[in-house]
Amino acid sequence: MGRTAIVGARVFDGEEVTDAGVVVLDGPRILQVGGAVPDGADVVDAAGSTLLPGLVDAHVHTSVEALELALTFGVTTELEMQGMFTRHNRAHVTENDRVADVRSAGFGITPPGGHPSELMGDDGHDGDGDGGEETPWEGVEDEDGTSPWADVVMPFSTTPEEAVAFVPRLEAAGSDYIKFMIDDGTVEGAPGLPLLSDATIAAGVEEAHRRGLLTVAHTLTVDATASAVAGGIDGLVHLFMDGPHTPEIVRSVVASGAFVVPCVVLNASMMGIPATELAADPRVNSRLDDAWTATLRSSYDRYPQGDLRDVLASVKALHDAGVDILVGTDVSFPLPAFGGMAHGASVHHELQLLVRAGLTPIEALRAATSVPARRFGLTDRGRIRPALRADLLLVDGDPTTRISDTLNIRQVWRRGAPLFR
Ligand SMILES: [Zn+2]
């Protein structure tokens, strides 16, 4: 692969708009930002366009096909939040420039019968007598037909000692970060689910930190959020939707230093709001098959009593108080029951919703680029800087002033490889 010079684009480098004018790729890396076009480089005339770092979706449940779809929308990295694609199980993704790159939590620590068991419609056991080591994601297989999780025992933990014991097992199984499920089922229409105790969360987090591992928590209620931040969690991969924010909860999130991945698109879907407008956008539906379009047009609809205005106001309050906001979606599979989201497309939807909440377009774009890279320790991406990965998105127009222009996709590069001919 030779050198490619992208010339004349407005450059959003992950933090600011620069007057670089020229960005040169050399194989899989960015060679230079600004300066002259090197002799012999292939030139891409990008006048009228904006060059951005490839986007990051900081909360997904993915597959190879979904990673391929995400990349067509300029999403170059997805962060898996349950099960698949741990460090030892993703060489086929790492080395494939036709799909988005991925990092993974592996399985989240939860009590026996705890979330996400209720998504299966029973107590999490599927009746095959193997001790309940089942999830909605079991049965997903690698290309060679074997499940990478065949030997994994689900990290069910009831006590601090059990949580502490699971952290090194998850680390050995290749988890990039350790996830804790804190969910009593309130907003899923399954109240009364068993919960991790505050002491169990705190002990597990402490063990993860002792090993230098980042910790994240699934928290959809104010109470679960308070538990997570009290336990020292580094990041919340949802935003509470069971009521408006209070000064107390905002203060405690700020004081903890935790980041928040609001997944507003998921909260909207939980409240019964489908992504109808997004699905009607030809820039979106032209890239989706019928199953994904139908999924966008449906919704989870498990918490219709919720108010999306509360969620948007909470995003704004946390952002204004200095909390790092990250773009994530909780997108999963092309099934109406998991509706309202599609891989890649929903990242653009979430960007629009963050702007609707009150972030500027540039603040929203940071939330999908430099901020997730910084908070998840992805030091090789998320900005347009020399020596970083050439994971890039080129769009027509100016999303730094009109956020929906992110959907005017002209080209995507993954490790310097152009996706479209
Ligand atoms: Zn999720």
Q: What would the pLDDT profile of 263-291 be if each residue is shown by its tens digit?
A: 999 999 999 999 999 999 999 999 999 99
Using CA of residue 331, residue 333, residue 338, residue 344, what is the dihedral sign? positive
Q: What is the pLDDT of residues 190-223, one digit of tens each?
A: 899 999 999 999 999 999 999 999 999 999 999 9
Distance 18 CA to ligand 1 centre (A): 35
Distance 334 CA to ligand 1 centre (A): 14
Distance 149 CA to ligand 1 centre (A): 18
Distance 202 CA to ligand 1 centre (A): 21
Distance 40 CA to ligand 1 centre (A): 46
Distance 59 CA to ligand 1 centre (A): 6
Beta-carbon contacts of residue 289 (< 8 Å; ≥ 6 apart): 334
Distance 219 CA to ligand 1 centre (A): 10
**pLDDT given for residue 120 in this prediction:** 62
Per-residue pLDDT at 363 exceeds 70: yes
Distance 53 CA to ligand 1 centre (A): 24
Distance 60 CA to ligand 1 centre (A): 6
Look at the domain 55-380 and name its fold: TIM Barrel (3.20.20)
Domain boundaries, the chain: 1-53+383-421, 55-380
Q: Indicate the residue type of 272.
A: G
Distance 35 CA to ligand 1 centre (A): 43
Distance 26 CA to ligand 1 centre (A): 36
Distance 16 CA to ligand 1 centre (A): 30
Distance 266 CA to ligand 1 centre (A): 9
Which pLDDT band, with edges at 50, 70 and 90, does 83 fall under? confident
Q: How far apart are CA 344 and CA 303, in angstroms?
A: 25
Per-residue pLDDT at 111 exceeds 80: yes
Q: How many percent of the chain have pLDDT more than 90?
A: 86
Q: Which two tokens stand for residue 19?
A: 């007057």
Per-residue pLDDT at 388 exceeds 70: yes
* pTM as predicted: 0.93
Q: What is the pLDDT of residues 137-169, one digit of tens each?
A: 444 444 455 555 555 668 889 999 999 999 999
Let me know: does 215 contact 235? Beta carbons within 8 Å. yes
Let me know: does 224 contact 182? Beta carbons within 8 Å. yes
Closest by Cα among 71, 177, 95 to 143: 95
Distance 116 CA to ligand 1 centre (A): 9
**pLDDT given for residue 147 in this prediction:** 53
Distance 182 CA to ligand 1 centre (A): 12
The mean per-residue pLDDT over the stretch 243-271 comes to: 98
Closest by Cα among 29, 32, 38, 4 to 20: 32
Distance 45 CA to ligand 1 centre (A): 39
Distance 319 CA to ligand 1 centre (A): 22
**pLDDT given for residue 146 in this prediction:** 54
Distance 330 CA to ligand 1 centre (A): 5
Closest by Cα among 183, 206, 178 to 104: 178
Q: How far apart are CA 334 and CA 298, in angstroms?
A: 10
CATH of span 1-53+383-421 = 2.30.40.10
Beta-carbon contacts of residue 178 (< 8 Å; ≥ 6 apart): 105, 109, 167, 170, 171, 204, 205, 208, 213, 214, 215, 216
Q: What is the pLDDT of residues 339-361, one digit of tens each?
A: 999 999 999 999 999 999 999 99
Q: Which two tokens stand for residue 84?
A: 């698949």
The mean per-residue pLDDT over the stretch 335-341 comes to: 92
Distance 49 CA to ligand 1 centre (A): 33
Distance 61 CA to ligand 1 centre (A): 6
